[in-house]
Amino acid sequence: MTPRERVLAVLSGQKPDFVPWFGDLDYWATALIGRGEKPQDFKQSDAYLDWHRELGVGFYLQGYFPFRAIAENCRVREWAEGNLRRRQIETPCGTLRETWTWRPESFAEAPTEHLVKSATDLRAYRYSHENTRYEPEHDFAERRRGQVGDMGVVLCYLPKSPLRQLIALDAGVTTVFEIFSDAGEEFRETMEAVRRSHDAAASIAVQSPADVLMIPENLSSECVGKTFYEMFMRDYEETWARRIREAWKYSCIHLDGTVKGLLRETCSTSLTFIEALTPAPAGDLEIEKWAQWSGNSRTILWGGLPGIFFTELVSDEDFDRHTRHVLEVMRSEPRYVLGVADQVPPDGLERRVRRVRELVEEYGAYL
């Protein structure tokens, strides 16, 4: 069977010949480009899929939103200053400004000035979402479909849930909880405004030529908790899991942090799978307990190989031992996909990535 046939079999409740192996190589590829080892257009090219094929890794993730956001009645400026990427949104209700800082040693960026800094920014934040419209941008997904072929699936993103948009990108977890404590009603009003905006974008994403649609929550249980999940996230995930299923496509969220606190809740939303699950010892839940903690759900569980295991910090012997153990669990029933939790890092070892296919061929046949 091909990688595409294997993963589609599992996602549709069938049993393939081997446990599917699908790895997120995007971060590793970014580092290779940054070091001059791959060309600048590598991740958009046919060569990127050839690389997956040569390494024996199924393809699925490219971080692509199939829509374009267009701000209206606002003045939006974006500019770069060295390693800083700045954005400013001027609205009749106030001005929002954020800064993202690129760290060349890690080949990554993070917010060093958040768009929303306190409750006084909520009115302008609502206004910016209420005055944003979306247009389809499906050309890249169409191109990807031709590139991917039998190596995997085409995956596109919906927007995050409004709460995760604020926590992960626009405000940070501390500010979010401070605002909720100080201005709870206005916070709820803001979540409703962002939800309306994100629903409009999500409708376009579902219409894209994707096999799989991800809500890229980048979720970790200790940053949300059960109460906030039920208040601000469940309905968004349930609604779009249903809409995606009605479009005859597969749905997922990204849960790559602590698992115990929210695995049961996310598995009860009817999403097809939960992706990038990190097991102990890097995560907080042993892989043999994943099924138990997911409740009675038949949600597919995707992950198992912590990113650090692809580096020199873990020995070849420990890497093989861990991967064999993961495969022993996953081959017991077709509700798992072997994946990286969550990405092969910039100092990843090519021989480790290649080794996974060898171990799958030796230990990954279903019982």
Check if the beta carbon of residue 146 is closer than 8 Å to that of residue 216: no
Whether omega for the bond prior to residue 50 falls within 30 degrees of 0, making it cis, is no
One-letter amino acid at 324 equals: R
How far is Cα 131 from Cα 125, in angstroms, rounded to an integer? 10
Its pTM stands at: 0.96
Contacts of 28 (CB under 8 A, 6+ apart): 343, 344, 345, 346, 348
DSSP 8-state assignment for residue 279: P
At 367, the pLDDT band (50, 70, 90 cuts) reads confident
Q: What is the mean pLDDT of residues 350-367?
A: 97
> N- to C-terminal Cα distance for the chain?
17
Closest CA to 169 of 85, 228, 249, 238: 85
Q: What is the pLDDT of residue 63?
A: 81
Per-residue pLDDT band at 305 (split at 50, 70, 90): very high
The predicted structure's pLDDT at residue 62: 83
Q: How far apart are CA 289 and CA 292, in angstroms?
A: 5
Cα gap 142→8, rounded to integer Å: 19
Average pLDDT value for the chain:
97
Q: Is the pLDDT assigned to residue 241 strictly greater than 90?
A: yes
Mutual angle of helices 46-55 and 139-148, in 10-degree steps: 40
CATH 3.20.20.210: does it fit domain 3-69+135-363? yes
Q: Domain-by-domain residue ranges, the chain? A: 3-69+135-363, 73-130
Instruction: Write the pLDDT tens digit of every residue in 14-51.
Output: 999 999 999 999 999 999 999 999 999 999 999 999 99
250 and 210 Cβ atoms separated by less than 8 Å: no
Residue 192: the pLDDT is 98
The confidence score (pLDDT) of residue 46 equals 97
